[in-house]
Structures are given as structure tokens and as C-alpha cells.
Amino acid sequence: MSKQKSLAFLLIILAVASFFRLWHITETPRGLYPDEAMNGTNAQEAIRTGSYKIFYPENNGREGLFINIQSLSLRIFGNEPWALRVVSAIFGILTVLGLYLMTRELLRKTSVYHERIALFAAFFLATLFWHINFSRIGFRAITVPFLLVWSFYYVFRMLHELEEGDEKLPKAEGFAVLAGIIYGLGFHTYIAYRVTPPLLLLLFCIGWQKYKAGILKKCFPCLFVLFLFAAFVSALPIGYYFLNNPADFSGRAAQVSVLASATPAHDLLLNAAKTYGMFFWIGDYNWRHNYAGAPALWWPMAILFAMGLLLSISRLFQNPNQIQNSNDRKEIRRGAWSLGLVAFRNIFTTPYGLLLVWFFLLSVPSVISNEGLPHALRTIGMIPPTMIFAALGIDLLMRKGRMLHQQILTAVVAKFPDLEEQIKRIGSEFRVLVLAFLVVISIFAYRQYLLHWASSPYAAEAFSENYTSLGKYMRLLPDTTHKYVIVNADGVEVRGIPMPAQPIMFLMGEGPITHGQVSPRNVHYVLPDEVRNLSLQNLPAGETVFIMLEMKGTLRNELKSVIPSITYEEIAGRLLVGKVTK
């Protein structure tokens, strides 16, 4: 494939990725989930105070890098839900580019079709509901695949430069440092990233094999140490924080761990079945994470993924010298012991081993947890190898199809020379069929996310659309209007106020408010058991608006009993707001 054609395909893929991640981002998802809003209020506080934290301990604790980046978006775009989410969209788009580059480098010496496979992997990621969805939500987990593909890409670029000779050593050193910085930043993102260090052993083994074979011209171990040092320096701030605050290290993970179960072995097996089964049968039921219950992969993609996965496993049992020759299918058959040794070696020294370990290792955060399985968010690090497996699957189909076409052409032309042009035309038609398949995948992604999921009332409910509507209503009120928010919804308390109040705090643009504090825009946050203490006499003069997060009749009646003059009216066609003037 020519460079011009490859670049054209890549630009089309990036355009598709951008469309799915940015189209109607100001409107979809509807609402703002409290976890997203909590990021936003922390970012607002950081902007106001200038105190940008390494770790934000509220809401079970979150690493600070993503929130601090979101604060830049808020500075530019203001206090809008989409301003939090556009950061994820940018990470998502750049992950598509990074996956293409990494896959091309990973398979450069392994497959003559590495360019084609890389383009397929990038396209599959661009149109994957799983990744599209998290690219449009203000969760820090979206950075996990981004940082992995880009750090590994620069590791493979480092190896590539080391093959070229002495004049490329400075560039290789630069790639080593860049790869290390990017990899180390991952520890500032999401807890699932912490399982990735074993992948570094495989990267070292791949490079060490080339170094011992004389393929790498300079000291690979020296540069790998440089990579590790850069990663250590990059991760040092969060490491130092956890050293001084060890309780924040595990956060909520300890609460949902399978080890806390009465039957850990049974649960571990069940969790594994649910996690790997989500690719084919039943996916995450959480509407924030998925089209509830749908498999993570559409069935044609699941077939391609399974083919690529099985192909990669089969390659572990091949001699490395045979892997590059796609027509040579001789496997080492010297008994189970020899096969095991070959497979064990290839796990550490081949791209296929890296992909397989990556896939199963990044499933661990889900498998060892006991909440909400299958869990699309905790397994987000599995996305890159999954897309590469699917790309290997379609590449295998195309190679088999081409071989079959050549055999048919040879056999038919030998007997019927007049049919040669017709048989050759079948090859072009097969390429058109592949293109049509890619178009169908795009249409399916459009229908599943932008049509069905985006319009679902269940998705809106999962993103607390009601709370968001209340917040949008409140921020239009004059600052002189006294606003009482009755937080009658359960959630983790942040500074004495349950989490469901966070969307309102964010939309008011005031950051996190402490219980008992009156915000600068005259907002009072009241807990349900404090309603009985309200009265018309102790209200401030002027207009007062009362808002309840949940429209519960008993609490509404209680408020009416302590403030008889209160009147209720509907907003947004369904939400009740109480008003009184003193």
C-alpha cells in the first residue's frame, strides 16, 4: 500500500472517529452524572484557588491529572457539561491515531500486511460503541488506552531507531524518554492502569531478543533503563502522595474486591466468565457504560475478534522464523513439552504474546471485583488488543480469500481461458465487499449510539438528567434569589452533602460547597432531616425558591406544613419547584 493511499485512509478514519466523538456532544449524553460533576466542581475550585492537586480524595478518591486537564477546558468553554466531556473526546480521537501508529510498529517485522492491519484496527476503534461512549463521558478512564498505545508506540519507535545505526541513537534516546514519561503519567489516571507493569517485562524481552541477535546496533538495556527512569520520574508525584496517604491507594477497590466475598474462588471463576463473555453474549447492564446488556462487540466484529485471538494463540506455537512467512504452516511437533517451551518463549518475545498478555492482564481489574459485572469501564484497557485481534481476523479472511481466488483463477483459466477476465473481476468485487462491510459497521455504530442510545430515557436517567435540569433552571435565577436545594437522594457524602447535589453545584459554577455554607450565589443545601427546622420566619427577605432532587410527596407535604404559603410549579414539564416570598 502506497504512503499516499495509507495517509488518505487514515485521514478518513480520523474523520469518522471525530464525528462519532464530537457530533452533538453539547447535547449527548443528556444530563450530567454526579461523578462527572464532581470532577467539574474540583476543577472549578482548582481554577478559583490555584490549587491543582495530585489526588482529589473526595468521591472515593480520584487521580488528579484528568481533572486538572478538564480545568483548562472549563477556562476556555465555561461551566458546561460538554466542556468536561470534550476532553475525553480529544483523548478518544488521539487514541485512534495512536492505535494505528502502535499497531504498524508492533507488526512491522511480523506481517507484510502490517499497514493494512493497523488501518483496520484504527477503523474498528473509531466505530466501536464501547470506546465512543467513554470518549463522550467525563471519566478519567478514557486516558488508559490512550497512554498505553502511545507509550508503547514510542517504545517500538525506539527499537526501530536502534536498528538503523549510530546516527539514530539521539532519536532513540528521545523516544525512550518520551515513552517513559507517557507511561508514567498513566499512574496519575485510573486505578486499572496499575496492573500494567508486567507488560514492561514483555517489552524488554522483545527488545532483548533483538539485541542478542545483533539486530539492535546499540545498547538496548541502557535505553530501556532510561525509559524506566523517565517512567519513574513521571509517576513519582502520585507515588509520593500514596506513600504519605496509604489509605487513598486502594480507595474503593478494597470494598468491591472478590477477596471480600465468602466464596472467592467461585466468584473469581464466575467473574472471569462474565468478563470474557461480554464480548459475545451479555455486556454491561449499566446504561452509562453500554447499551444495556448488549455485547461489547457486534456479532460480525466478535467473529473477527475470535479469529484474531485464535490466530495469535496459534502463533505462540510457531518458530519465530516461520511467523513472517504467511504461507508456511509447519508447527513444531516435538511433543507437549516442546510445544509448551516454544509457546512460553513466544509469549515473551513476539508481538502476539504481548497482545495476549495485554488482553488478559487488563481484564484483571474486572475479574477481581464483585460489583456490576460485566463492567465495561474497568475493562477499558482491553480495548486496544481487542481491536488488533479483530484487525488480524479480517486480515486473515482477506489473505485466505486472495489465496482462494488465485487457486480458482489458475484452475479455471487452465481449462477455460476465456473466463480469465471474469475471474479477475471477482477479486475487485471482494474488495468492494470489504468496503461495504466497513460502511455497514459505521451505520450500525451510528444507529446504536447516536439514534437509539442517545434518545433512550434510561440513558438520560443514568446521567441524572433531572438533577441537571434543576441545575440549569437554578443558574438562570438572579443571584439575589435565595435558593434552597433539599438533597433527598442517597450518595457518598462530599463535605457533608450527598453526591447527587454535585451537578447543581457544577452548573452554578461555584465548586464544591460545604454543608451549612451559603454559596456566593445564595444557594443553601439542606438535608431531608433539616426540613422540619425551616419556617417562614427564619427565611431571608425576598423571593426564595425550594428545589428537591427527588419529587417525593411526603417531603413535599412536610415542607408545606412548615411553610404554608409555599406554592409549587412545574419546570421542564415534570419537575416541581416551590416558591415563597417574604
Q: Which residue has the cell 475479574?
A: 367
Cα–Cα dist 261/202, whole Å: 32
- Cβ neighbors of 353 (< 8 A, separation 6 or more) are 202, 316, 346, 347
Q: Write the DSSP assignment of 249-308 as a string of letters.
A: HHTTHHHHBGGGSSSHHHHHHHHHHHHHHTTTS-----TTTSSTT--SS-HHHHHHHHHH
Confidence at residue 6, expressed as pLDDT on a 0 to 100 scale: 93
Confidence at residue 337, expressed as pLDDT on a 0 to 100 scale: 60
Strand order in the sheet with 482-486: 523-526, 482-486, 543-548, 575-581, 567-571
385 upstream amide cis, omega within 30 of 0: no
With 0.75 as the threshold, say if the pTM is over it: yes
Confidence at residue 167, expressed as pLDDT on a 0 to 100 scale: 76
Three-state secondary-structure class, residue 548:
strand
442-454 pLDDT tens trace:
999 999 999 999 9
Confidence at residue 554, expressed as pLDDT on a 0 to 100 scale: 84
Q: Is the pLDDT of residue 316 over 50?
A: yes
Contact (CB, 8 A) for 289 and 139: no
The confidence band for 263, taking pLDDT boundaries of 50, 70 and 90, is confident
Average the pLDDT over each of 59-73, 92-106, 441-455, 557-571 and give the range with the smallest value. Answer: 557-571
Contact (CB, 8 A) for 321 and 409: no
- Cβ neighbors of 367 (< 8 A, separation 6 or more) are 258, 268, 271, 272, 275
How far, rounded to the nearest angstrom, does the alpha carbon of residue 262 sit from its chain's CA centroid? 31
Confidence at residue 569, expressed as pLDDT on a 0 to 100 scale: 84
Confidence at residue 400, expressed as pLDDT on a 0 to 100 scale: 86
The confidence band for 325, taking pLDDT boundaries of 50, 70 and 90, is very low
Cα–Cα dist 198/151, whole Å: 14
Confidence at residue 332, expressed as pLDDT on a 0 to 100 scale: 44
Q: Write the DSSP assignment of 461-478 as a string of letters.
A: HHTTHHHHHHHHHHHTS-
Radius of gyration, CA atoms only, the chain: 28
- Cβ neighbors of 160 (< 8 A, separation 6 or more) are 105, 108
Highest mean pLDDT among 94-108, 211-225, 420-434: 94-108
User: What does the pLDDT average to over 381-395?
Assistant: 98
Confidence at residue 416, expressed as pLDDT on a 0 to 100 scale: 65
8-42 pLDDT tens trace:
999 999 999 999 999 999 999 999 999 999 999 99
212-251 pLDDT tens trace:
888 887 789 999 999 999 999 999 999 999 999 998 887 7
Q: 484 has which bridge partners?
A: 524, 546
Distance between terminal CA atoms of the chain?
Answer: 76
44-57 pLDDT tens trace:
999 999 999 999 99
Average the pLDDT over each of 60-69, 102-111, 160-169, 348-357 and give the range with the smallest value. Answer: 160-169
Q: Is the pLDDT of residue 409 over 80?
A: no
Dig out the grid coordinates for 207 from the structure: 527488545
Tell me the H-state helices in 372-464.
383-415, 420-445, 454-455, 457-462
Q: Is the pLDDT of residue 472 over 60?
A: yes
HSE-up (13 A, CA, CB side) for residue 278: 31
Q: Is the pLDDT of residue 573 over 70?
A: no
Cα–Cα dist 68/63, whole Å: 10
Confidence at residue 424, expressed as pLDDT on a 0 to 100 scale: 62
Which residue from 475, 562, 227, 571 is spatially nearest to 580, judged by alpha carbons? 562
Q: Is the pLDDT of residue 81 over 90?
A: yes
User: What does the pLDDT average to over 350-361?
Assistant: 97
Confidence at residue 331, expressed as pLDDT on a 0 to 100 scale: 47
Task: Give me the residue spans of the domains in the chain.
Answer: 3-29+55-250+267-285+298-392, 465-581
Confidence at residue 545, expressed as pLDDT on a 0 to 100 scale: 92
Q: Is the pLDDT of residue 336 over 60?
A: no
- Cβ neighbors of 523 (< 8 A, separation 6 or more) are 474, 483, 484, 485, 504, 505, 508, 510, 513
**Residue 27 phi, psi dihedral angles, 5° rounding:** -120, -25
Mean pLDDT of the chain: 90
Cα–Cα dist 353/199, whole Å: 10
Count H helices and E strands in the chain, helices first: 25, 9
The confidence band for 80, taking pLDDT boundaries of 50, 70 and 90, is very high
64-79 pLDDT tens trace:
999 999 999 999 999 9
